[in-house]
Amino acid sequence: KSPEGEEEEYFEIPTFSGEEQTIDSEHFRIHYTLSGSDAVSSLEYINTVAEIMEYVWLVEVEQMGWAPPPPDGGFGGDDSYDVYLLNVFEDGTAGYSDGGFPETLVGDNPRTPFVETRSHYSYLALDNDYAELDEYGDDSLTTLEFMQSTAAHEFNHALQFAYDGEEPAEWLWEATATWVQSQVYPHIHDADEELVSVFKSPDTCQLAYGGETRVEDENHWYGLWIFMQYISENYGPETVRATWEHARELDNYAPLEVALGDAGTSLDEAFRGFSIALLTRDFERGGEYPTLRLEGITTPEALFTPNDGVGQMAADYIQIQADVPVTVRLEAESLHGMLVGLRDGSASLFPMDDNQASVDAGQFDHLYLIVLNENQAATEYDCQFTPYTVRVDPTSKSANLPIITTPAPNFDLPQVKALLDPEEYWDED
């Protein structure tokens, strides 16, 4: 199967509209044709593809330390990694990588220091000219930039196949590859367009692809590259790579848990920090990211209950509008809360022991409750929303002290916004 999540019945060997030809670079064999619908735009285009692929190899393998793909037994004529230039963009597919079938199983990748049992060879396909880019009305990137970003993304899938071509955590495939493309070409910000799926739908179950019940979380797997960015910025980019190194033996969240443990933290701790970072946009380029969507606003002596709840490994954000000391209580099974107060460009974090805390709301410009669902879904089909109720009452109790106060220069006011229904939205289009 391809890591984009669409199951295929068999390993499909690419075929061309005309006579197949090849050109070799140091690590790649580029397959193309000069006739028919798959014809490349020029021989210069082929050389450009080869240069891009070699640069992607340089960064991902030699600089970032990912293990190279295993030998493919001469699949494309020799053991070089095969890249096919086909008219794939005609149907909206920018590129794809293919592997993970019984035919592609290598077992142990001889090019790594580890012992794998699920290493697979693969190939990737790019478009033969990307001429359709203009037709899709995307003028945010040049054709070259689009091709560079796509190549970096798809080749990272090849490296994922090399560690574990059978990893079931589909979100992890796309979140990682989208993050990697932003590392290989840091001046190309096309991955930013996927951030809406996280910032505007932070309560979507982490395993959900999205787009079924709300427009905002479509392509959620890709938007979760920001979780990898958080891990990279706080625990090192090698922690992302280590996740896939551990995937050779472990599945689902277990590789990530072990990698974060090796980095001196835990998945729960990283998830909590990430949830705070979404609110304050505490990322290196956070000032360029979308502002967060609030689930709602509540006031003293009022009860707040969301329309849905919060999915696994996701969070809801509720603004507490008050200017007096209050006690905030989260009533829910298996959910946890945190309070974050913003004032003068700083964020103060208050834990909620037994899911309650007392805070002098008047000491802050803005006060937010983060409702965390730290439970893990086994598969996308196990995703579900957990309901909760928030109670805010005036109090004479002594205010809790924050456990940490940090700068929040990128904070921007989040807003409550109604979610869009996909059927109504697309019918209007």
pLDDT digits 0-9 by tens, 259-307: 999 999 999 999 999 999 999 999 999 999 999 999 999 999 999 999 9
Residue type, 349: L
**Which of 287, 321, 352 lies at the terminal end of a domain, its last residue?**
287
Q: Are 164 and 248 in contact (CB under 8 A)?
A: yes
- Give CA–CA dist 341/359, Å, rounded: 9
Q: Choose among 200, 221, 194: nearest CA to 209.
A: 221
pLDDT digits 0-9 by tens, 46-73: 999 999 999 999 999 999 999 999 999 9
Range of the structural domain that residue 55 is part of = 21-287
Residue 90 belongs to domain with CATH number: 1.10.390
| Domain-located, residue 6 | no
Strand partners, 359: 326
**Which of 232, 256, 287 lies at the terminal end of a domain, its last residue?**
287
pLDDT of residue 1: 37
| Domain-located, residue 356 | yes
Are 254 and 106 found together in one domain? yes
For 139-195, the three-class secondary structure string (H helix, E strand, C coil) is: CCCCHHHHHHHHHHHHHHHHHHHHHHCCCCCHHHHHHHHHHHHHHHCCCCCHHHHHC
HSE-up of 100 (CA within 13 Å, CB side)?
Answer: 24
Residue 355 belongs to domain with CATH number: 2.60.120
pLDDT digits 0-9 by tens, 213-264: 999 999 999 999 999 999 999 999 999 999 999 999 999 999 999 999 999 9
pLDDT of residue 8: 54
pLDDT confidence of 139, banded at 50, 70, 90? confident
| Domain-located, residue 150 | yes
**Which of 241, 271, 287 lies at the terminal end of a domain, its last residue?**
287
- Give CA–CA dist 373/222, Å, rounded: 20
Average pLDDT, the chain: 95
How many domains is the chain built from? 2
HSE-up of 396 (CA within 13 Å, CB side)?
Answer: 0
Q: Is 429 exposed, middle or buried (0-12, 13-18, 19+ CB in 10 A)?
A: exposed
- Whether residue 352 is predicted with pLDDT greater than 60 in this model: the reply is yes
- Give CA–CA dist 51/110, Å, rounded: 26
| Domain-located, residue 149 | yes
| Domain-located, residue 376 | yes
| Domain-located, residue 12 | no
Are 203 and 227 found together in one domain? yes
Coil, strand, or helix at residue 205?
Answer: coil
- Give CA–CA dist 351/401, Å, rounded: 9
